[in-house]
Amino acid sequence: MNMKRLFVLLLFISSLLKAEDIEIRLVFNSFNVDGTIVIQSLNSNKNYAYNLNRATKPLLPASTFKIPNSLIILNEKLLKDENQIIKWDKKKRFLDVWNQDQTLKSAFKYSCVWCYQKFAKQISVQKYENYLKLFDYGNKKVGIDSSSFWLDGDIKITAFEQVEFLKKLYLNNLPLDKKYINIVKDIMFEEKNRKYKLSSKTGWATSVKNKHGWYVGFLETKNDVWFFATNLLIEDFKRLDLRKKVTLEVLRQKRVI
């Protein structure tokens, strides 16, 4: 992160430290969950954050790393597009939906770990580190294993940094061919209604002592674009739906949707 961006971020954080966001706290309390959320608008200069200690804590990105990883896989020409078939190796895994042929689009949607590891093994640690520097992504560290570092390696990212990366993606401010950026934005699409268009990625870090779940993305309304990064302490697989529920409820309370 360059000095100008760091200075702006520090000013933003210092302004937020003046008072806790009661509306957001009530949402978290209503769902009986601990964590953080950061929300920033593109056009209206509105920003919200809750639990700044956690929002500024570097954490494993887990499957939210599939956003930059998809860009890297495409840029390395390991796949030509989001629809090219990725052949299943016939090994049974955790989720039934993983046990079949995939595409980048389906692998992203279902967080298919084996698909991304298949391609990550073809990308060196040094090459990954170079991409992380180009993207200014998190702490830019990989570790010794390129095939799973986003799940149990050295890479860490804060909620604020997730939002900054998403802004660059949305605005095409990444040093890659725009066709690859557009493909990734397309596979991030989740839902659309009369009020908004939602693009996102979930993640769940299970290799750490305190398991945590991510929900990151951007929500396009008629007059603005809202970037968000939610991180919740979640131990139970059955509570993973809280990632999206909490995020949307906060956006409702803030009258974004």
Catalytic residues: 63
For residue 224, give the nearest of 191, 203, 254 by alpha carbon.
254
**Beta-carbon count within 10 A of 11 CB:** 10
DSSP state for residue 59 in the 8-state scheme: B
* 253 burial level (CB within 10 Å; 0-12, 13-18, 19+): middle
For residue 226, give the nearest of 99, 83, 42 by alpha carbon.
42
Q: Can you state the angle between helices 66-75 and 178-188, rounded to 10 degrees?
A: 140
Rounded-to-integer distance, Cα 42 and Cα 169, Å: 13
Those residues with Cβ within 8 angstroms of residue 245's Cβ, 6 or more apart along the chain or in another chain: 31
For residue 22, give the nearest of 212, 252, 250 by alpha carbon.
250
For residue 23, give the nearest of 5, 54, 49, 59 by alpha carbon.
49
Find where tokens 């990734």 sit: 184
For residue 11, give the nearest of 158, 228, 160 by alpha carbon.
160
Alpha-carbon distance values, 204 to 38, 82, 115, 226, 245 (Å): 18, 23, 17, 22, 15
